[in-house]
Amino acid sequence: MDHQALVRLSKRMSLALRHEPGRFGLVPDRGGWVPVDALLSGLRMSRANLDAVVTGNDKQRFAVEWGPDGVERIRASQGHSIPVDLGLIPATPPDRLYHGTGRAALTSILDTGLRRGERHHVHLSPDVDTARRVGARRSGPVVVLTVDAAAMTRDGHLFFRSANGVWLTDRVPAAYLTP
Ligand code: HQG
């Protein structure tokens, strides 16, 4: 499979596992897991292609494991809009985290802080390069905001780290942001 086909498939898997499982006949459990076989038939994809996406994914978006019932299962590691309990445990973040976005959003963000929107959390990156790539998904110039995660932690905000290294928190008030 070429790179573009991998990306297309990864997006369809993200849609099915994070946002619209019902459209593909899937019923994720509380933790967001679905049987691998159900995903394969729901998306009419081969096991080889699934493995290629899971192992070749730039962000390791998907986790595959054997469930307690002996059934192999898959879920997205973050980014859901459907209700899921990922079982994340609060963790101490690095002192600074980063958020990449489009410049068009900057005034609003500096006014009201970072909001989670449709997702369960605000997503933050551990380094500037990753944040820049996240921001480049928006049209127009990219801005990377620095988040004072040390101060947020001192003030009682909770942080979680997804299985693929994305830092998550409920919201980031504007006072902790530097453009
Ligand atoms: C913006 C991708 C105006 C925010 C990435 C972002 C990430 C505001 C957009 C993950 C705002 C939401 C998440 C405010 C936030 N006013 N705009 N007050 N607060 N925004 O996609 O962080 O490829 O839900 O800046 O790599 O861009 O899907 O969040 O531009 O890890 O695995 O509202 O999604 O991962 O957009 O990206 P998103 P995000 P995947």
Structure tokens at 131: 């944040």
Residues 173 and 100 in one domain: yes
Contact 80, 19 (CB under 8 A): yes
In this structure, is residue 86 part of a structural domain? no
Q: Please indicate, yes or no, whether residues 114 and 168 belong to a single structural domain of this protein.
A: yes
CATH number at residue 156: 3.20.170.30
Residue type, position 168, single letter: L
Q: What does the pLDDT look like over 66-96, one tens digit per residue?
A: 999 999 999 999 999 999 999 998 999 999 9
Indicate whether 25 and 71 sit together in one domain: yes
According to the model, what pLDDT value does residue 91 have? 96
Per-residue tokens: 15 = 């849609």
**Same-domain status, 23 and 70:** yes
Q: What is the pLDDT of residue 57?
A: 77
Q: How far does the centroid of ligand 1 lie from the alpha carbon of residue 155, in Å?
A: 23
| Co-location of 115 and 59 in the same domain | no
Q: Among candidates 59, 55, 73, 87, which has minimal Cα distance to 17?
A: 73
**pLDDT (0 to 100) of residue 88:** 92
What pLDDT is stored for residue 173 in this prediction? Answer: 98
Domain boundary among 24, 41, 76: 76
Cα(123)–Cα(64) distance, rounded to whole angstroms?
A: 22
User: Which helix (H) or strand (E) segment is 66 a member of?
Assistant: strand 62-66
Split at pLDDT 50, 70, 90, the class of 56 is confident
Q: Which domain holds residue 115?
A: 96-178
Structural domain contains residue 63: yes
Structural tokens at position 78: 């973050």
For a substitution probing ligand 1, which of 53, 54, 114 has the most ligand atoms within 8 Å of its CB?
114
Token pair of 36 as six digits: 């691998």
- Position 143 in a domain: yes
Co-location of 105 and 53 in the same domain: no
pLDDT digits (tens, 9 = 90+) for 31-49: 999 999 999 999 999 999 9
**Does 105 lie in the same domain as 36?**
no
Pocket of ligand 1 (CB under 6 A): 14, 59, 61, 79, 101, 105, 108-109, 112, 114-115, 117, 119, 123, 134, 138, 166
What is the per-residue pLDDT across 101-145, written as a single tens digit (0 to 9) for each? Answer: 999 999 999 999 999 998 999 999 999 999 999 999 999 999 999
The last residue of one of the domains, among 48, 76, 104, is 76
Does 59 map to a domain?
A: yes
Q: Is 38 in the same domain as 72?
A: yes
Going by alpha carbons, the residue nearest to atom 12 of ligand 1 is: 117
What's residue 1's pLDDT? 81
Please tell me whether residues 106 and 62 are part of one structural domain.
no
Out of 119, 120, 133, mutate this one to test ligand 1's pocket (max ligand atoms within 8 Å of CB): namely: 119
Specify the 3-state DSSP secondary structure of 62.
strand
Query: Of all atoms in ligand 1, which is nearest to the CA of residue 18?
Result: 28
Structure tokens at 171: 């919201």
Both tokens of residue 96?
A: 């600074």
Backbone angles phi, psi at 162, to 5 degrees: -70, 165
Q: How confident is the model at residue 58 (pLDDT cuts 50, 70, 90)?
A: confident
Which atom in ligand 1 lies closest to the alpha carbon of residue 108? 16
* 135 in a structural domain: yes
